[in-house]
Amino acid sequence: MTPRNKPGKMAEETNDRTPSKASEKESTTADKAAPGTGETPETSPQSGEDGDLVEKATATDETGAKESGEEDKDPETQIAELEDKLLRARADMENLRRRFARELEEKAKYAATAFARDLLNAADNLQRALDSISPEVRKQDETLEAFAAGVEAIEREILSAFDNHDIRKIEPLDEKFDPEFHQAMYEVENTDCPPGTVVEVVQPGYLLHDRLLRPAMVGVAKGKLNEESVDTTI
């Protein structure tokens, strides 16, 4: 007669043979994470707040490192650096002040440039009017003489106003031609003057302080041909 198994012992054997649901879940998760399957376990992404906290902590560490580096310096070295920065700032402010003062001075100095240019034509017309009257005709006609004297008085007033504002006339007759202040209109041949000499002044020029208002229109002596330098070969 075969003895029956006890109920408690049979339950233990059944539990050993049948895996629990928890163990099945663990094995399934392990299989998903196993290498070679091409699948990776899901991980929760780092939230934005955590990223901001990491960046703030990094910036705080860098700031603290800088401050600690400055504190590690010798006090005398720090004082010397601050004095150097102060001197540089003062030098920059002084240069800026001088530049502004120079610009204001130049604006005030050359403020009458456009107005002076407009008056140059009036002065030229007065001179042309006087040149159109010959001295002989003035002596013969008293009315014409009085008219010419009035024109000369007006011209003197304009030239006096020019002098008061440092506007100077350029009349380079018999002077060396200077392209910075003169404008050559033509060349004059057969002159006894050296080449490049101003032999005629068509229209005078003017300067405002050291700035050119208008160049002088001139005729320049032409150099003579050197016969020895002429190539006569055919």
Give the total number of structural domains in the chain: 1
Residue 57 confidence (pLDDT): 55
Report yes or no on 125 lying in a domain: no
Q: Which domain holds residue 216?
A: 167-223
Report yes or no on 211 lying in a domain: yes
Which tens digit of pLDDT belongs to each residue from 31-79?
444 444 444 444 444 445 555 555 655 556 555 555 555 566 788 888 9
Report yes or no on 174 lying in a domain: yes
Which tens digit of pLDDT belongs to each residue from 177-213?
999 999 999 999 877 888 889 999 999 999 998 899 9
Residue 205 sits in a domain whose CATH number is 2.30.22.10
Report yes or no on 206 lying in a domain: yes
Report yes or no on 197 lying in a domain: yes
Residue 17 confidence (pLDDT): 47
Average pLDDT over residues 220-229: 62
Q: State the pTM of this model.
A: 0.54
Residue 109 confidence (pLDDT): 85
Report yes or no on 192 lying in a domain: yes
Report yes or no on 175 lying in a domain: yes
Residue 68 confidence (pLDDT): 55
Tell me which residue of 204, 15, 7 sits closest to 125, measured CA to CA. Answer: 204
Q: Quote the radius of gyration of the chain (alpha carbons, Å).
A: 51
Report yes or no on 114 lying in a domain: no
The secondary structure of the chain as a DSSP string is: -PPPPPHHHHHHHHHHHSPPHHHHHHHHHHHHTSTTSS-----PPPPHHHHHHHHHHHHHHHHHHHHHHHHTS-HHHHHHHHHHHHHHHHHHHHHHHHHHHHHHHHHHHTTTHHHHHHHHHHHHHHHHHHHTS-HHHHHH-HHHHHHHHHHHHHHHHHHHHHHHTTEEEE--TTSB--TTTEEEEEEE-S-SSPTTBEEEEEE-EEEETTEEEEPEEEEEEPPPP-GGG-----
